[in-house]
Amino acid sequence: MTWKDISALTRFPALCVSALLMQGIGAEAAQPRVAVTATGYEVFEPVISIAWVDNNQLLFKGSRSGTDPKRPSLEPSSIYLWNDTTKIARVYAKGRNFCYAQGNVSILLRSDNQARKAVYLEGMLGAEKEIEKQFRSNTEVFNKFSCRLQKLEEFVPPLPKTHFYLVLREGDGYLTLRPHGSKEERAHPRNITLYPEKGAKPVTLPITWDESVGGVGTTYSELLGVYVLPPRQLIPGRGPGNWPSDEPRIVYLLHRDGRVERISFPATSTFSRPSPVKSGWIYGGGDFYRTSGLYIYSDNAVRKLDAGNVNYLAVSPNGCKAAVAINNRHLDMGMPVNLKIFNFCLEGN
According to the model, what pLDDT value does residue 184 have?
66
In the chain, what is the greatest distance between 2 CA atoms, to the nearest angstrom?
61
What burial class does residue 236 get, using C-beta atoms within 10 Å of its C-beta: 0-12 exposed, 13-18 middle, 19+ buried?
exposed
Nearest partner of 323 among 53, 21, 102, judged by Cα:
53
Task: Give me the pLDDT at residue 50, please.
Answer: 96
Q: What is the spatial distance between Cα 6 and Cα 246, in angstroms, rounded to a whole number?
A: 22
Domain-located, residue 245 = yes
186 found inside a domain: yes
Residue 244: per-residue pLDDT: 85
What's the pLDDT score for residue 15?
27
- Please state whether beta strands 50-52 and 78-83 pair in parallel, antiparallel, or not at all (unpaired): unpaired
Please state, as a whole number, how many other Cβ atoms lie within 10 Å of the Cβ of residue 255.
13
Report the pLDDT value the prediction gives residue 240, as an integer from 0 to 100: 55
Closest CA to 294 of 278, 276, 272, 279: 272
On whether residue 349 sits in a domain, the answer given is: no
Here the CATH number for the domain that contains residue 106 is 2.130.10
Q: Domain for residue 14, yes or no?
A: yes
Domain that holds residue 135: 3-343
Under a CB-based contact definition with an 8 Å cutoff, are residues 291 and 22 in contact?
Answer: yes
Q: What is the rounded distance in angstroms from the CA atom of residue 190 to the CA atom of residue 211?
A: 10
**What pLDDT score does 13 carry?**
29
How many domains does one find in the chain? 1
What is the full per-residue pLDDT of the chain (349 aa) written as tens digits? 444 333 333 332 222 222 233 334 344 445 678 999 999 999 986 778 999 999 999 999 999 987 776 777 777 789 999 999 999 999 999 998 999 998 999 999 999 999 999 999 999 999 999 999 999 888 999 999 999 899 998 898 999 988 899 999 989 999 999 888 766 666 666 899 999 987 789 999 999 988 989 888 899 999 999 999 999 888 776 655 678 888 999 999 999 999 999 999 999 999 999 999 999 999 999 988 889 999 999 988 999 999 999 999 999 999 999 999 999 888 786 688 999 999 999 876 6
CB atoms near residue 204 (< 10 Å): 12
235 within domain boundaries: yes
Q: What is d(CA 126, CA 110) in angstroms, rounded to the nearest whole number?
A: 19
Backbone angles phi, psi at 130, to 5 degrees: -75, 130
* Cα–Cα distance measured from residue 120 to residue 133, given in angstroms and rounded to the nearest whole number: 8
58-68 pLDDT, tens digit each: 999 999 987 77
Q: In angstroms, what is the C-alpha Rg of the chain?
A: 21
Q: How far is CA 190 from CA 2, 65, 158, 163, 179, in A?
A: 34, 48, 20, 12, 10
Q: In what order do the strands lie in the sheet with 226-229?
A: 219-221, 226-229, 249-254, 260-265
The helix or strand, by DSSP H or E, that contains position 121, with its residue range, turns out to be strand 117-124
**Nearest alpha carbon to residue 72 among 333, 331, 349:** 333
What's the rounded Cα separation, in Å, for the pair 116 and 102?
A: 28
Question: Is 338 inside any structural domain?
Answer: yes
